[in-house]
Structures are given as C-alpha cells and as structure tokens.
Amino acid sequence: MPPREKTDWLLMRQLFTAVAPRYDLVTRLFSFGMDRRWKTIGVAGASLPANSLALDLACGTGDFSRLVRRNGITRVVALDLTERMLRLAKADGAAEAVCGDAACLPFAGATFDCVLVGYGLRNFPHLQQTLAEIQRVTKPGGLLVSLDFFLPENRIFRPVYLAYLFVQGAFWGLLLHGKPRTYTYIWDSLRSFLSIGEFSTLLRRAGYRDVRSRGFVGGGIAVHWARR
C-alpha cells in the first residue's frame, strides 16, 4: 500500500473507531429519523430470495445486516474497516463479521447474491477500484444496493445542503466529542462526490445494468439498485 493510501486508511479507521459508540445516534439525527426507513426501502427493492447470501459492506453497526435477516435471508457477512464497529454489530447479533478493506475484499469471486453498502461508497478513496471489487465478489445477476449522501442536482439547493451538513456535523461533534470537526467528514467527503444521476452513470459505465435509484431530501440522499 503506497504511503498516502496507508495514511488515508489509518485516518479513516481512527475516525470511525472514535465515532462508533454514537454512530447510530448521529445517523438518525442527520437523517431526521428517516435512516432506517431508507434502508428498509433499499432491502425491499432488492427482492432477495430466502436462500441468498449477502455482504453488508462498510457495515457500521450492522443495520443492513439486521434488516436482510428479518426478511428471511439465511446468511449475511458484515465487513468493516473498524473493529469497534464490528464488535457493536456482533453484539446486536447482526451477522458473521470480518475486518477488511473494501478495495481488497477477502472473498472468492462470485460469492454473494447481493452487496449492500450504507453510507460507504462516498468514503472510499478509489471508488472505481472498489466497484470493481464489489463486482468481482458478486454472482452474475446479483445486486448492488447502496444508500448514500449525494450532491443535489439543484445548484441553488446544493450549497444550502452542504452548509447544513457542515453546521450539523460541527454542532454534534462539539457537543458529543468536544471537537467540532468530528462529524464534518460527511461534508468533506461529499464536496468532491457525485450527484444521483452521475453515480447512476458511473455504475452503468462500470458494467452494471438495470440501474435504478430513489432520491430523498431534494436529491441529497438516495438508494441505488444495480444488477451485475
């Protein structure tokens, strides 16, 4: 791993180790309590059969894992960069847990029927490489389901949305950790990310088909479904 990439990897791991105990709380606050509904929509839209094997990539505390298991999926593997997140996911009985890097997944090709990613793709330094890895471990005809923040298409709303995320992040970072910049990583990562439409185009160019999306909060949040 090159020195710059190793530094980014370590910083990301340190950040999510620090925020893990309050991650669910802050996610609910940023989403006005809508986060679980969006994830439920993502899982429902996948229409996975009962014998599916799913990967909850960048699983955090395991929300997607719990949802797919409630929908009758027999096995879910949860993977995250941060051991503290994985301990929280396992403590809640979410799934089999693996500590690993999304850019180099420790699974054989064509292993999973579905890969679910909650708020993860935006944080990966090499998005196209990560998408290639996700495709590699997904069975032909399998699905990618992603929930994430996006840059709103509306050029007037976009700076307002970014300012909201920065102020919210600074407020909760100061209140919960005594450090205003703790949760502004959402703002940091989103400034150089994509709109919903741009991400859909990227998925098609990467080889996915039947790409669908459903946007929320004026295009600032979306669920994507894409078939390998």
Q: What is the pLDDT of residues 118-128, one digit of tens each?
A: 999 998 888 99
pLDDT digits (tens, 9 = 90+) for 61-113: 889 998 988 777 768 999 998 888 888 887 666 668 899 989 899 999 999 99
DSSP 20: G
Whether the CB-CB separation of 122 and 193 falls below 8 Å is answered with yes
Q: Do 71 and 48 meet the contact criterion of CB atoms below 8 Å apart? A: yes
User: Is the pLDDT confidence value at 167 over 70?
Assistant: yes
| pLDDT at residue number 89 | 81
End-to-end CA distance of the chain: 28
Q: Which of 134, 123, 118 is nearest to 63 (CA)?
A: 118
b/e string for 118-137 if b means 16 or more Cβ within 10 A? bbbbbbbeebeebbebbbeb
Token code pair at residue 221: 């949040």
User: Looking at residue 92, what is its pLDDT?
Assistant: 63
CA distance 132 to 144: 12
Average per-residue pLDDT for the chain: 88
Q: Considering just the CA atoms, what is the radius of gyration of the chain in Å?
A: 17
pLDDT above 70 covers a percentage of the chain that reads: 88
The domain spans of the chain are 3-227
Q: How many Å apart are CA 26 and CA 33, to the nearest integer? A: 10
Average pLDDT rounded to a whole number, residues 199-210 = 96
SS3 143: strand
Domain at 3-227, CATH homologous superfamily: Vaccinia Virus protein VP39 (3.40.50.150)
Output the pLDDT for position 61: 87
User: Smallest Cα–Cα separation from 39: which of 99, 143, 119?
Assistant: 119
**Per-residue pLDDT at 37:** 95
Alpha helices (H) along the chain:
3-19, 23-30, 35-46, 63-70, 83-91, 127-137, 157-177, 185-190, 196-205
Q: Are 12 and 40 in contact (CB under 8 A)?
A: no
What confidence tens digit (pLDDT) does each residue in 209-224 have? Answer: 999 999 999 999 999 9
pLDDT of residue 15: 66
At 44, the pLDDT band (50, 70, 90 cuts) reads very high
- The torsion angles phi and psi of 79, rounded to 5 degrees, stand at -125, 135
The pLDDT assigned to 81 comes to 87
pLDDT bin (cut points 50, 70, 90) of residue 8 is low
Q: Which distant-in-sequence residues (6+ apart) come within 8 Å of 207 by Cβ?
A: 135, 228
Residue 184, beta-bridge partner list: none
Q: How far apart are CA 114 and CA 108, in angstroms?
A: 14
Percent of the chain with pLDDT over 90: 57
